[in-house]
Chains A and B, each alone.
Chain A
Amino acid sequence: MKQILASRELLLLTAIGLLLMLIAWRFPGFVVPSNLVVVFNDTSPLILLAIGQMIVILTRCIDLSIAANLALTGMVVSLVNIAVPSLPIIVIVLIAIGSGTVLGMLNGILVWKLAIPPIVVTLGTLTIFRGIIFLLTEGKWVNSHEMSDAFKAVPRTDIFGLPVLSWIAIAAVILFSVIMTRTTLGRAFYAAGGNPHAATYAGINVGRTQFWAFTISGAIAGLTGYLWVSRFAVAYVDVAGGFELTVVAACVIGGVSIMGGIGTVQGALLGALFLGIIANALPVVNISPFWQMAISGGAIIIAVVLNAQANRTPGRIILKRAEHAT
């Protein structure tokens, strides 16, 4: 029992299963494969961003600029698409990843070289990125008819019954599972967040590791930026406004410890799916979508309480008892 409770992923998987059963009991139509594909596809951007955010949180940082990066990169590629409609999509994708990476590196450099707390850095870049979108466009929208057909087609193209957007999310889950568990860089992320002092003595440059975490998160945000604007076929200043907190919520629900060092790609995936299923199920079960915010808030709080119970180590308890005794 204890081991099952300790495995956050299994617990969350059970919760998701129960949730789906609960919905299926009243609305069987929700759990048919064709609809689940839609739900997964709809959640894919959140899955991508949650993976990036998880890596950043692992290193004891936080990236609040992730949604602003997405919006800015989305706008940049839309403007490129308007300027040169014939540009091959692969170039657009490379521009998106490149732009996101540069923005992520900017966060990383500020955190690494100037040792400014990440929450301050990304709070600042969050407003700056959104402001730059406004400067680029003077607040105008890029609408569907201004984008080339090829630009809009990519995320929707079906391959083996799944849209490309879903395949990219699946590919990212696999790629980053391997990176996090099978490479030195992945180990370094856990080490830098788990115990920065020990990591330093083990020869890991904590600052540089954090820099790479922000770079990866930026690259993912950039790619998602292209996918987002092309999927919804619209780009404007407030694209994905406030989404950064949903992404953090997905991570927290997925068992990623905000104190760093604890978390898995699978956890982030399940956390994102949990929120995605709720978001998609509410209209189906005839609950006003206005409930969604409160429900995800409640889910975050429950998840944190469960996390804290699971992560409580014997060494901590002594101190807690001392604290309670006062």
Chain B
Amino acid sequence: MSSTRSIPDRLRSPIERNLKSWESLLLLVAVGIFIANSFASPYFLNAWNLSDATFNFTEKAMIAFAMALLIISGEIDLSVAAIIALASTAMGAAVQVGVGTPGLIFIGIAVGLLCGAFNGVLVTGLGLPSIVVTIGTMSLFRGLSFIILGDQAYRGYPPDFAFFGQGYVWWVISFELTLFAIIAVIYAVLLHMTNFGRAVYAIGNNSTGALFSGIRVGRIKFILFLLTGLMSGVAAICLTSRLGSTRPSIAFGWELEIVTMVVLGGVSILGGSGSIPGVVIAAFVMGLVTFGLGLLNVPGIVMSIVIGALLISVIALPRLWSMWRSA
């Protein structure tokens, strides 16, 4: 807001920087919610209940990681939930003709990649704004599922397919939670430790500058759309396996929850900044809030108020604070 900017004579120490970072604030919120929950409900501190709670966010968070990279690069993909629907429908159709589990996984991932490539070509190849393109493909992809399924549902998934959404790797650690952790590590390395990740930040901060620095802006954005499609395909496999059926309304409205998760994780919606650890903590915050309120018999729609208020207030409060300090 103020145009004068004081330049410090030395950098803040790394410890101070880490302590005052978005991630630590968010972690504090997460711990606060955790403690509040354990006092509010006697059922909260139970390994199996907590394990169940992770299903609230693992599938969404997988997509949120790819979405985080996409948003950091200055684009957005609102079609992710529709890709889940289309991938799930394709898998359901394959089941009807007797395709086995390996084939289903291939189909889920292939549909995700194809949808991502379609978005990527429209945005990078034709230079169209991603928010409009993906609003369009959102209708298109889910519309295709509606055309194929109508008011019907696909069932009859093979028994061994259930492992991806319902299986446990060890004790209370579900397959989905394990996959979530592996994907989180992969994306954290990709974003924070590789040239590719550097390029993503560079594009988000100044795409023209990045272009003239020799970064293949179009190609990287295309890969990011592919990755988002891929993660949507993976999430579709997990979700379909967990539910055991496919309806065209599957994962309806998830795109907004996923964007909320990413923004809550400290990724700037304008692009250029954000981190994977932030998104991980945000996923836990959203999962804990939903689960804790669920244990208190708070209806889902009221939880969405909390999520909505959380989204606005976590961005508004720091700004109010700095306005108050400068005033």
> A-side interface residues toward B, CB under 8 Å?
62, 64, 110, 114-117, 119-121, 123-128, 130-132, 134-135, 139, 237, 242, 245, 248-249, 252, 258-259, 288, 290-301, 304-305, 308, 319-320, 322-323, 326
Contact = CB atoms under 8 A, between A and B. Distances in A.
A201 to B, nearest CB: 15
A110 B315 CA distance: 10
Contact of A126 (B149, B211, B256): B256
Interface stretch (B18-26, B46-54, B123-131): B123-131
Given A121-B312, A124-B309, A319-B208, A237 B301 contact: yes
Contacts of A121: 312
B132 interface: yes
A120 B147 contact: no
Interface in B129-183: 129, 131-133, 135-144, 146-147, 149-151
13 contacts: A116-B315, A116-B319, A124-B311, A127-B308, A131-B308, A259-B129, A290-B151, A294-B142, A297-B143, A299-B136, A300-B132, A304-B136, A308-B126
A252 B132 contact: yes
**Nearest 9 Cβ contacts at the A-B interface:** A294-B143, A297-B139, A297-B140, A131-B305, A300-B136, A293-B143, A127-B308, A124-B312, A301-B136
A258 B132 contact: yes
Contacts of B137: 297, 301
Contacts of B136: 249, 252, 297-301, 304
A167 B93 CA distance: 47
Interface in B283-316: 299, 301-302, 304-305, 307-309, 311-312, 315-316
A258 B259 CA distance: 19
Nearest to B142: A293
A8 to B, nearest CB: 14
A290 B145 CA distance: 9
Contacts of B111: none
Contact of B150 (A290, A301, A326): A290
A131 B197 CA distance: 38
A115 B316 CA distance: 9
Nearest to B317: A114
A123 B127 CA distance: 25
A304 B128 CA distance: 7
Contacts, number: 153
Contact of A326 (B128, B133, B211, B308): B211
B142 A323 contact: no
B208 A130 contact: no
A116 B311 CA distance: 11
A114 B305 contact: no
B33 interface: no
Contacts of B139: 245, 249, 293-294, 296-297, 300
Interface in B254-271: 256, 259-260, 263, 269-270
A125 B126 contact: no
B128 to A, nearest CB: 5
Interface of B: 1, 122, 126-129, 131-133, 135-144, 146-147, 149-151, 208, 211, 214, 216-218, 248, 253, 256, 259-260, 263, 269-270, 299, 301-302, 304-305, 307-309, 311-312, 315-316, 319-320
Contact of B312 (A125, A130, A320): A125
A130 B304 contact: yes
B143 A139 contact: no
B305 A291 contact: no
B269 A117 contact: yes
A120 B301 contact: no
Nearest to B211: A323
B105 to A, nearest CB: 26
Contacts of A291: 143, 146-147
A123 B259 contact: yes
A294 B263 CA distance: 29
A33 to B, nearest CB: 31
A130 B301 CA distance: 8
A252 B135 contact: yes
Contacts of B312: 110, 116, 120-121, 124-125, 128
Given A258-B131, A293-B143, A134 B302 contact: yes
A124 B144 CA distance: 29
A64 B269 CA distance: 15
Given A291-B147, A301-B136, 11 more contacts: A123-B259, A124-B308, A126-B256, A127-B308, A128-B305, A128-B312, A252-B135, A298-B140, A308-B126, A308-B128, A326-B216
A131 to B, nearest CB: 3
A123 B304 CA distance: 11
A134 B301 contact: yes
A320 B311 CA distance: 36
Given A126-B308, A131-B301, A323-B217, A308 B127 contact: yes
Contact of A249 (B135, B149, B208, B218): B135
B22 to A, nearest CB: 14
B294 to A, nearest CB: 15
Given A116-B319, A252-B135, A123 B311 contact: yes
Contacts of A288: 147, 150
Contact of A114 (B131, B208, B301, B320): B320
A249 B256 CA distance: 17
A245 B134 CA distance: 11
Contacts of A322: 211
A139 B141 CA distance: 30
Contacts of B149: 290
